[in-house]
Amino acid sequence: MAFLFFALPLQAMSHLLLQPHIFFCVVLCNIKKKLRCLTHRAATLTAGEIRSALAHTDLDKMWQRDLTPLLVTRYPGTAGSLAVQQHIKTTLGSLEAGWSVTEDSFEAQTPYGPRTFTNLIATLDPSAKRRLVLACHYDSKYYPPQWHGKEFQGATDSAAPCAMMLELARALDQELKTHKSSSPDLTLQLLFFDGEEAMFQWTATDSLYGSRHLAQQMESTPHPAGADDTNLLHGIDLFVLMDLIGAPTPRFGSQFSSTSRWLTRLQNIERRLHSMGLLIDHPADVQYFWPNMPVGFVQDDHVPFLNRGVRILHLIPTPFPSVWHTFDDNEENLDRSSIQNLNKIIQLFALEYLNARPIDPQNPQNAP
Ligand code: 1BN
Ligand code: ZN
């Protein structure tokens, strides 16, 4: 209800209030839409299925194949940015699952004049009605030359989250291929945003260049194809944004009550993997996910989607890593254990959300 009142201009609202049948129909439709998403049931994999699903995740491979090529300066429109785009496209293009990768390229005004920005959108099955979206930003924050040529790597911000998304696609390639072949209603989409960072100083127009553009594009693209009242944003079941990941012992609190149940599920996955002995440097008193810890609103790439009614899970730690926006946000200061553990937790979350069961070698009759 509150959403309805905020979403409509005042004039349209009073018009609706004067026509009770329209008013109740709109409210009912809204409730129906909410029910569909609120009742999404994720699978819970057995211990055997979990071992099988996580058998291919490999931190060394991720570091070498996915992360190292991302640890370059990658300001929008530069050679570094182009190399990173190429790396993301080649990596996803080489996988068996068959990702459809498209570019959203556009020019925007910045405090330094016009610049070209490019978002990358990878969709497992573009014909599926609904999507679980995983998102990160691949641009690095711009530091002008007066910083004596120092290079800002942005290892947690957000090279590591992007590498984790590529590792997820690689490690779960067979599971995602099998899932796609069953033509499900629900698929996986990976979004790599350009221009998250302010070029000069964070304002409404100097920040979130890529996500503002893509949210607008998705809103004006009918989905499913040919639909006249639904668009690509309606197809997003849940939008999971990962940022500032890679420092030791992160804590993720709840920013949005509408998605705290998914944070609870991540907490539950963390507990299950802990009790199976699958997490490293993770004693009993360490806990990454805190669904009952409310945290304040943080500006980030989810905002243009949130403002259009998309359900958001913002995986950004509280507090931010101590190296945030310093030249120490580099490879040396990344914490391998938390990255490896979060890889496993997020990979299992994605499989369970998609209801994509791997083949359990102990129990092959459970094959999908
Ligand atoms: C996150 C990582 N952000 C920038 N790099 C967004 C942000 C901007 C968060 C300003 C807090 C303040
Ligand atoms: Zn940043």
Q: Whose CA is nearest to atom 9 of ligand 1?
A: 299
Of the candidates 316, 279, 309, 275, which has an alpha carbon nearest to the alpha carbon of residue 295? 316
Q: Is the pLDDT of residue 366 over 90?
A: no
Q: Whose CA is nearest to atom 7 of ligand 1?
A: 299
Cβ of 299 less than 6 Å from ligand 1 = yes
Contacts of 50 (CB under 8 A, 6+ apart): 272, 273, 276, 278, 348
User: Is 95's pLDDT higher than 80?
Assistant: yes
Question: What is the pLDDT averaged over residues 70-81?
Answer: 97
Catalytic choice (196, 300, 329, 360): 196
Q: 209 CA to middle of ligand 2, Å?
A: 13
For 54, residues 6+ apart whose C-beta sits below 8 A from its C-beta are 171, 278, 344, 347, 348
* Shortest-distance ligand to the CA of residue 244: 1
Take atom 4 of ligand 1 and give the residue whose Cα is closest.
197
Residue 56 has which token pair? 């291919």
Residue 200 C-alpha to ligand 2 middle, in angstroms?
A: 12
Which pair of tokens denotes residue 272? Answer: 């299950």
How confident is the prediction for the chain on average, in pLDDT? Answer: 90
Question: What does the pLDDT average to over 228-237?
Answer: 97
Which contacts of 42-45 are long-range, i.e. CB under 8 A and separated by 24 or more positions? Answer: 42/265, 42/352, 42/353, 42/355, 43/351, 43/352, 43/355, 43/356, 43/357, 44/352, 45/348, 45/351, 45/352, 45/357, 45/358
Q: What pTM was estimated for this model as a whole?
A: 0.90
To test the pocket of ligand 1, the residue of 298, 302, 322, 329 to mutate (highest count of ligand atoms within 8 Å of its CB) is 298
Are the C-beta atoms of 230 and 125 separated by less than 8 Å?
Answer: no
Which listed residue (167, 243, 300, 335) is catalytic? 243
Ligand nearest to the CA of 241: 1
Q: Could you tell me if the CB of 244 is within 6 A of ligand 1?
A: yes
The pLDDT of residue 28 is above 50: no
pLDDT exceeds cutoff 80 at 363: no
pLDDT tens for residues 303-320? 999 999 999 999 999 999
Strands (E), the chain: 100-110, 113-123, 130-137, 186-193, 236-242, 252-254, 289-294, 312-315
pLDDT value for 46: 96
pLDDT of residue 367: 53
Q: Are strands 186-193 and 130-137 parallel, antiparallel or unpaired?
A: parallel
Band of residue 34 on the pLDDT scale cut at 50, 70, 90? very low
Tell me: pLDDT of 10 over 60.
no
Rg (CA), the chain: 21
Active site residue 243: yes
Atom 1 of ligand 1, nearest CA residue: 300
CB of 202 within 6 A of ligand 1: the answer is yes
307 lines ligand 1 (CB under 6 A): no
The span from the CA of 110 to the CA of 113, in Å, is 5
Q: Which atom of ligand 1 is nearest to the CA of 300?
A: 6
Ligand 1 within 6 A of 352 CB?
A: no
Q: Is the CB of 200 under 6 A from ligand 1?
A: no
Of the ligands numbered here, which is closest to the C-alpha atom of 325?
2
Q: What is the mean pLDDT of residues 45-66?
A: 97
CA–centroid distance, 137 to ligand 2, in Å, is 9
Q: Which sign, positive or negative, has the C-alpha torsion 13, 17, 19, 24? A: positive
Which atom belonging to ligand 1 lies closest to the Cα atom of 244?
Answer: 2
Ligand nearest to the CA of 326: 2
Length of the chain: 368
* DSSP one-letter code for 358: P
What pLDDT does residue 149 have?
72
**Residue-level pLDDT at 365:** 58
Nearest CA to ligand 1 atom 12: 299
Query: Three-state SS for 103?
Result: strand
CB-ligand 1 contact for 139 (6 Å cutoff) = no
